[in-house]
Amino acid sequence: MTRIGIIGGTGYTGGELARILCTHPDVEIAAMTSRQNAGSRVQDVHTYLRGYVDLEFTERISDTKDLDLVFVATPHGVAMKEVPALLEQGIKAIDLSGDYRLHDHEVYQKWYGHEHTDLDNLAKAKYGLPEFFRDDLKGADLVANPGCYATSIILACGPLLKAGVVDEDIVVDAKSGTSGAGMVPTDRTHHSTCGETIIPYSVGKHRHTPEIEMAVDRFAGSSTKVTFVPQLLPIVRGILSSCYFDLTEDLSQEEVDAIYEKQYGNERFVHHVQEPSIRAVVASNHAQTASKVIGSKVVSFGVLDNLVKGASGQAVQCMNLMLGLDEAAGLNIPGLGV
């Protein structure tokens, strides 16, 4: 069995990793860290893991020996301090923060507000979106797990940009559940503030913006411009991203749908549908795309669970590829539906 560690085991993504991995047929959760809960049993903190994870939180991942791969599920700025030591010991790593997503350290400093301290590994990290970069991930030592918004938007935009049938100026209206803000409550995510309303936030300055542009530039072959408007929905899980393009040639609905079917027709976790639904994918690693041609424009949609395909589930999908396992291992669960 492959021995797995999780740094940052008490947050939403850390807990979701444990929920997925505790029934994975090929791995064993050998360590979970938490500074505030060190010494406490995992199942006493995450009560939904009772009977599934028989561990105590440790303060440091170095307290556990012989790990094969470690997930870093922490706020940005932490992974760049942890990853070098892991790689030096021959331990593979997946970073779920933004520390290794942007290969340009100046872009990282601009958007995250501090210098990157691990430039060598920043340049080597692979971007963990299997549906587009699968071959890069096979056997990789370090993977940067994409952001949740970025995943939904890239899945929606990628096929059209690869096909070269849309203009490279993209407008995105994206809506996310409150779990995307993390476990620590804020004024914005307090129920009396965000309940029964929709709140635009971080317009023009959301940190997923350069990540989205970096990825879609690889499809477009030139510089794209993404106008990204994130909004907070009064739900716990889920993202719906609506992406607006100008077509560069006359295309029918059937021709646009065929572009998506070519990209995703054989994919296990991404499906092109007529009417995307957050409820169809919640609690699963599945994502849905859809497209609607409106005259000379096309709107594409990307839907996923921000904690699964948008974070922990996608990280496990990447882990499977890095370790040479079945890509769908531990993830063969449908969405809730209702």
Catalytic residue among 22, 148, 194, 318, which?
A: 148
C-alpha closest to that of 49 among 14, 1, 5: 14
From CA 89, how far away is CA 85, in angstroms rounded?
Answer: 6
Q: Are 19 and 315 contacting, i.e. CB atoms less than 8 angstroms apart?
A: no
Largest CA distance in the chain: 63
Work out whether strand 287-294 and strand 297-304 pair parallel, antiparallel, or are unpaired: antiparallel
Q: Count of CB atoms within 10 A of residue 14's CB?
A: 27
Where does residue 336 rank: exposed (0-12), middle (13-18), buried (19+ CB within 10 A)?
A: middle
From CA 175, how far away is CA 239, in angstroms rounded?
Answer: 6
Q: Count of CB atoms within 10 A of residue 224's CB?
A: 21
Q: Are 155 and 172 contacting, i.e. CB atoms less than 8 angstroms apart?
A: no
C-alpha closest to that of 288 among 334, 234, 328, 219: 334
From CA 46, how far away is CA 55, in angstroms rounded?
Answer: 11
Q: How far apart, in Å, are the Cα atoms of 2 and each of 54, 55, 182, 293, 322? A: 17, 16, 28, 47, 12
Measured over the CA atoms of residue 167, residue 168, residue 169 and residue 175, the dihedral's sign is: positive
Token pair for residue 218?
A: 């690889």
Token pair for residue 222?
A: 């030139």
Per the annotation, the verdict on 22 as an active-site residue is no
Which residues are designated catalytic? Answer: 148
